[in-house]
Amino acid sequence: MKVLIVRNDRMGDLLMSLPALHEIRASFPEAHLTLLLQKGLEPLLEGHPDVDRLLVWEPAKGQGLGAIWGWAGRLRRERFDAALVLNPTRLFHAASCLAGIPLRIGYRRKCGILLNRTVPDTKARRDLHEVEYNLELVRLLNSSSQTQCHPAPALYLPSRPETDREAEELLKGRGISADERPIAIHPWTSNPAKGWPLESFLEVARRLAKGGRPVLILGGSECRGLMDPVKPQMGSGPVDLVGRVPLKVLPALLRRCSVLISNDSGPVHVAAAVGTSTIVVAPESHARLMARWRPLGDGHRILLSPRVEDLVAAASP
C-alpha cells in the first residue's frame, strides 16, 4: 500500500504529524509512506525511520487551478492507494481527488466534499492536543467510524552522527566545550500576538550568561535582520547564532543544550523531539492554544506572561 500524508504548513505543525506517521508505520509495516511538506523543512525529516520518501511543496508556486492540475498529474503518476490530508487545504483535497486516489481522508472543510472519508473539524470546541487530532484521522485508514483517541506519544527525531559532529564543531568554535550544556534561547515566533518582547529575552540571556552558563541565541536566517539592530544591547556574554545554524543541525545542537527558552515556535517541538527540556513563554490570552500546541514529553514548562525574574529563576539550576 502506498500512502501519501500531507502536512504542508509550518515547522511545529509538521512535527506534530510524527506520531501519526509512527502509528501508520506500526499499523501497516509494509506500506510505503510519502510525506508531503513545505519546501525548506525537508532537512528535519530526511532519513526519519517512519518516512520512506519526502515530496516538497513550494508555496511560491501558488494554490490556484494551475497548481491543482499540476499536483493532480504528479499524484496520479505516483498511483497512491490512500491520501491523508492532516491540515485542511483545498489544493490537496482537489489534487488528490483529480488524481483518482481511492481513499482520501481529511477534515470536512475547505472542499472536504472531495474527500471520501472525513471527520468534522471540531478543534474550536474541544481541548485535545494537535497530535491527538492527527491520530483521529489516522484511524480512518482502518475504519470509516471515528474512534476514541489514546494519549499522545512523544515526538522523536533520531540522532545523526554527521550532524552531531557539525553541532560539536559549531559549539567548539564558540569556545563551548563538549562537557558544557548551554542554555538556548529562541526569541522569535510566527505570530507576533503571542510573542514576548525581544528585549526581555535578551535581558534573560544577559543575566544567565553573567551566572557563568553558556547561552546561545538561536533563530533562522529570516530573523537576522531583526537581530542585528539589537545585538549591541546583548553584551559579550551570550553567543549569537541567529541565522548560523543549518536546519539539519538544529536537532543535534538542541540535543546538546540543557534547556530551550522560547516563544511558542517550531524549535520548541524540535527540542522536545530530541529530549531537551523547554520553557515556553506565552501571553495569558493564549493559554488555551498552548494546551493544544504544548511540547510533548516530560520536563517542559509553560510560563504565561512572566517577568524577566521569573524566567531567569525557571532556567537556573
> Domain coordinates of the chain in residue numbers?
2-141, 161-315
pLDDT digits (tens, 9 = 90+) for 95-137: 999 999 999 999 999 999 999 999 999 998 998 999 999 999 9
- pLDDT above 90 coverage of the chain, percent: 82
Domains 2-141 and 161-315 share a fold: yes
pLDDT band at 153 (very low <50, low <70, confident <90, very high): low
| In CATH, 2-141 is 3.40.50.1820 | no
Cα separation, 201 vs 208, whole angstroms: 11
Res 77: pLDDT: 97
Q: What is the pLDDT of residues 23-71, one digit of tens each?
A: 999 999 999 999 999 999 999 999 999 999 999 999 999 889 999 999 9
Backbone angles phi, psi at 33, to 5 degrees: -105, 125
Question: Residue 272, by phi and psi: left (phi above 0), alpha (psi -120 to 50) or beta?
Answer: alpha
Give the confidence band of 192 by pLDDT, cuts at 50, 70, 90: confident
Residue 9 CA from chain centroid, whole number: 9
Return the ∠ at Cα 170 (arms to 164 and 174), rounded to 5°: 140
Which of the listed CATH numbers 2.30.30.60, 3.40.50.2000, 1.20.58.190, 3.40.50.670 matches domain 161-315?
3.40.50.2000
Average pLDDT on 295-307 reads 94
Q: What is residue 190's predicted lDDT score, i.e. its pLDDT?
A: 86
Predicted model pTM: 0.93
